Amino acid sequence: MPINALVWGENVHEQMDENVRALYPDGMHGAIAAALAEDANIRPSTAVLQDHEHGLTEVRLAATDVLLWWGHRAHGEVSDEVVERVQRRVWEGMGLIVLHSGHYSKIFKRLMGTPCSLKWREAGERERVWVINRSHPIACGLGEHVEIPNTEMYGEPFAVPEPLETVFVSWYEGGEVFRSGLTYQRGAGRIFYFSPGHETYPIYHHKEVQQILRNAVNWAHNPAPAWTAITNAPNVPIDQAREPLVQKGPRLHADGEEGFG
């Protein structure tokens, strides 16, 4: 069964900036979706900020296996309700791939619990993405590094939690470094952050970047049934305890009463 990958694009720079539109006539989300479509195992679609409910309705999310997120100048315009909905789906098992300036998106900050801040410089300098673990599924088919001729520099310190795995670390012409590929898990959902992808350069047309995105979709897909009960905090009644128990001492809750929370 193919993986349903939904590419979410902010779709603002493409409308406002001629350089960006020239590079991405179908939007950055369009270019990413086209790259994903080269993998027969992935069924990509797109949604944008301007869609009804940003294109992220309950129904649409329920049918999504992996969500890719690109946003930059309009993070604040994404509704909190939709962000909560996306977060819940990640907990249930939907994969999430956060791209470039998405480091500052509401959804990434919520899932990390940290500021997700970094340094930046828009000089079109050279970036060399070093592969830390060449046998990681996300690095499949790559050489020892990926060279990006023109990039926006993202520099450490990157205020995120210690990752599960550091997949890529980037070198910049101007003298900085950045942990450019990091994995996390939140609930049943796998999360991959990948930093290359500034809107004024043709980075999503780069063959190896496209390979990384396809790899990441395959990696982030969790085939387990959605863990919809993950937000429940069930009471286990005494008579259903696995070992015989008798009530001891005072209680706050009467039988069958709901917990707080």
Find the binding residues for a copy of itself in span 151-210 (CB under 8 A).
Answer: 153, 155-159, 161-162, 164-166, 169-177, 179, 184-188, 198-201
Q: Which of residues 45-74 bind a copy of itself (CB under 8 A)?
A: 72-74
CA gap 96, 89 in Å, rounded: 10
What is the total count of residues that contact a copy of itself (CB under 8 A)? Answer: 99
CA gap 128, 149 in Å, rounded: 8
Task: Out of 1, 52, 250, 256, name the contact with a copy of itself by CB under 8 A.
Answer: 250
Report which of 209, 183, 217 is spatially closest to residue 129, judged by C-alpha positions.
209
User: Is 246 in a helix, a strand, or coil?
Assistant: coil
Q: Smallest distance from the beta carbon of 204 to a copy of itself, in angstroms?
A: 15
Q: Smallest distance from the beta carbon of 71 to a copy of itself, in angstroms?
A: 9
Q: Which of residues 116-145 bind a copy of itself (CB under 8 A)?
A: 117-125, 128, 130-137, 140, 144-145
Q: Rounded to a whole number, what is the largest CA-CA distance in the chain?
A: 73
Q: Smallest distance from the beta carbon of 78 to a copy of itself, in angstroms?
A: 13
| Choice between 52 and 225, CB closer to a copy of itself | 225
CA gap 223, 137 in Å, rounded: 16
Phi then psi for residue 112, to 5 deg, are -85, -35
